[in-house]
Structure 1
């Protein structure tokens, strides 16, 4: 730890808001302050992410309450699943889907959730069998993905399936095909001063280098590692100002050659930074990446432009973002799930570091 940087004290694990936001159907999309907002209904996007968090919590604690959540979110995914291997996304509170096909991000995030389920060592074979059936049909669609961030999500799913014999062959083929697509986009758009996969930085940016670090871990192809590092280092120069994380704002994003948008900052971006820097540190052992992972997590706790926490220790929820005039006080599903996922990753990082010190 660098001189002058105080030791990170993790808040206690509080999942009250996760349970509060979840009813018999799944996790609700939005909240008004800390109260679930039924008017906005549900999304498959959020239920897929919630499935990942609930499963990780069950693996960590063995608490059957989290297993109940795993089944509930899995049931939502199955309900959203279509015969051609895609997923509908938006469901109103009357339990009716209002779209025929969800976004590419929804599709790829659902693949990650299903991959977590199928690769888990703590789940019953029956729920894993359902994930197998859904994955078998859905994986055929991954090469149809057109958006870089969606491709990155799919690569993460495929990196999990690569070592599983039932999927290893197709997972390897698809993972390398999508990784090459990302590299081609990088080659097309990057130059000496702009090392990125498109001419615009938008949301969830860090997920792109994160995916290529995962691709390198699977294939050991140095070109994946090279672009993963270059793109993450480029992103770092933009996202950290005066020692704090300032993610790209969703009011205009950041187009090459133009002014970047600073507001509104979203928890999904801070979470993906935690994931990317943690993975980069694991692979390269460069301590600078570890420090950036910790700084990205501190964004949730108050080390941000407004010096106010987004995480609410009383409710267990996470506020929805940083706006120009303050903090958005609503505690929606995406924000809370992103906080919990980031916290789980940081806890694993800290424990891994402590274990390594004990070994030494």
Structure 2
């Protein structure tokens, strides 16, 4: 494995025959914290995206799909937290984990590395698509999965309805040019909101919706770029009319921005969105507020956050998946 390519080394380290461990101390999995549907779903996204997966990556995709199938109940909702003792700690519902599970299932249904993975993922996605969530971001994540299904098969009406409802859940941006965003606060995975609007407009043939999503994304990129480097909204978020902090920055924000810019590039062909992806890649490689790499070249793991003292050296699932996802986009641009 090239030292400049993270690959799936650390994801394999974090996984067992049940799923994907959520946390790590440095590079060692913390088994007592167990697993969560959120991260397993993101794992299914990246393993399904891989264009020529090695056998170990296919095995990961199978494992993650089995986990999500087990997490889903008969109504299409999902449980989120499974202990290392293989006992669920919560009831099934439609929180963010439902949305991310739908994202993973939709990606696997469209791009899974084997026919049986695609078939089972589509079955679970179709059941989940009967549900809706009161949480906008859950709807956004589910909408991204619906977009994947529709790109593979435009005739899937359940996916089309879910994607349209996801774009509606985002809301309409404010008319204030200083804050052209549908919410008064930026929180987490912000670029996903713009991405699902762009995807809904593109796949639904609504150019005004595409333009709305592109305006949202353009503003988001602009306010998170300083001297041609990304400086993303920290975990504490940023509210309109309040001074913005710069730490702790989370890799998920960078990965969401890379995803959205990649979608915008595919829809428009505009080279500025390619530049957005490259800046996300550069953030992981050290072009950030602390001038430090945000991943461990020895383990292939992503660091858990960028603090005012440098990286948080723990290499959990979310950060590692954000790294892999972003570098997958880089590979398509090379």
1:23 maps to 2:19: no
In structure 1, C-alpha distance between the alignment counterparts of 2:124 and 2:314, rounded to whole Å: 34
Report the equivalent of 1:291: 275
Check 1:77–1:324 CA distance in 2 against 1; reply closer, same or farther (3 A cut).
same
Alignment-derived partner of residue 265 in structure 1: 249
Structure with bigger gyration radius: 1
Alignment length (residue pairs): 333
- 2:294 pairs with 1:310: yes
- CA apart distance, 1:103: 5.5
2:142 matches 1:154: yes
Tell me, in whole angstroms, the C-alpha distance in 2 between the residues paired with 1:280 and 1:150.
Answer: 21
Question: Do structure 1's residue 247 and structure 2's residue 232 form an aligned pair?
Answer: yes
Q: Check conservation: 1:161, 1:167, Cα contact below 8 A.
A: no
Residues in 2 aligned to 1:116 and 1:247: alpha-carbon distance in whole angstroms: 26
* Corresponding residue to 2:58 among 53, 67, 74: 67
1:163-178 → structure 2 map (5 Å cutoff): 168-178=156-166
The equivalent of 1:238 in structure 2 is 223
User: Does residue 77 of structure 1 match 2:73?
Assistant: no
User: Which segments of 5 or more consecutive residues in structure 2 lack a partner in the other structure?
Assistant: none
How far apart, CA to CA, are the structure 1 residues paired with 2:112 and 2:45?
14
Q: Is the 8 A contact 1:210 1:228 kept in 2?
A: yes
Aligned to 1:202: 187
TM-score normalized with structure 1 length:
0.87
| Cα displacement string for residues 99-131 of structure 1 (whole angstroms, at most 9, x for unaligned residues) | 113562211111111112222364133x33332
Gaps of 5+ in 1: 1-8, 351-360
Is 1:335 matched up with 2:323? Answer: no
Shift of 1:333: 0.5
For the residue of structure 1 that corresponds to 2:125, the secondary structure is: helix
Q: Is the 8 A contact 1:47 1:77 kept in 2?
A: yes
Cα separation, 1, equivalents of 2:312 and 2:6: 22
TM-score by length of 2: 0.93
Looking at structure 2, the residues matched to 27 and 100 of structure 1 have their Cα atoms a distance apart, in angstroms, of 20
Q: Report the Cα offset of residue 151 of structure 1.
A: 2.1
8 A Cα contact 1:117 1:123, kept in partner: no
CA distance in 2 between partners of 1:105 and 1:92 (Å): 19
